[in-house]
Amino acid sequence: MAEEKLLIPLDMYLQSGIHIGAKFKTGFMQPYIYKVRSDSLCVLNISKIDERLKLAGQMLAKYEPDKILIVCRRENGHKAVKTFAKASGAKVIFGRYFPGTLTNPENEDYLEPQIVLVSDPWLDKQVVKDALKAGIPIIGLCDTNNTTDDLDLVVPCNNKGNKALSLVYYVLAREYLRNRGTIDKSAEPDVPFKDF
């Protein structure tokens, strides 16, 4: 893929480690794996990461900010999801997700999002389960060791690294705002990348 067609420069992807997967791989993630290194780490295909980030940005842009829920149990992603919420206006749950938040109207923290994005379908499996019950579409950030059968859109990426998650949420925030028409197609969000 020509670099000028990528959402961001290739160097930014490489420096973040967004393409470095786990040693374990599932059959679900095989189509996104470029190669397996000699140290057994899987390497994700950057053009597929870029393509899926673009699709996720377009998918999220169909929804008002308050109808989007981002969930991240992994501590490495807390700052990135908070900053995504600041830039976009989306709702965020970081840390522990309480079962029933999406399915029990009597729950004091009950939410009715129209789309959910999870930072790791395995760690955030309870929200995936609840979103499925509630019929809410799910976007999942998936490393090579994730299963994807309950997701509506898979975004392959290193979902464990701080730099990788920061870059993912920055690109998603920027693409969301651009696709919504909140900022110009060539503009950057008010919240700079360094804040993610």
> Could you report the per-residue pLDDT of 69-113, keeping only the tens digit for each?
999 999 999 999 999 999 999 999 998 999 999 999 999 999 999
Residue 4 pLDDT > 90, yes or no?
no
Residue among 184, 126, 174, 146 nearest 33 (CA): 146
Lowest mean pLDDT among 1-5, 168-172, 177-181, 186-190: 1-5
The three-class DSSP label of residue 20 is strand
Instruction: Give me the residues paired with residue 93 across strands.
Output: 71
Percent with pLDDT over 90 in the chain:
91
Burial of 27 (0-12, 13-18, 19+ CB in 10 A): exposed
Backbone phi, then psi, for 34, in 5-degree steps? -80, -45
Assign a CATH topology to domain 3-183: Rossmann fold (3.40.50)
Kind and range of the H or E run holding 169:
helix 162-180
First-to-last CA distance in the chain?
Answer: 26
- Whether pLDDT at 24 is above 70: yes
Distance, in Å, from the CA atom of 77 to the CA atom of 73, rounded to the nearest integer, reads 8
Q: Is the Cβ–Cβ distance between 21 and 120 less than 8 Å?
A: no
Task: Read off the pLDDT band of 186 (50, 70, 90).
Answer: confident
To the nearest whole number, what is the mean pLDDT of the chain?
94
Q: Please tell me the predicted confidence (pLDDT) of residue 1.
A: 47
Question: Residue 184 pairs with which residues in a beta bridge?
Answer: none
User: Quick check: helix, strand or coil at residue 153?
Assistant: strand
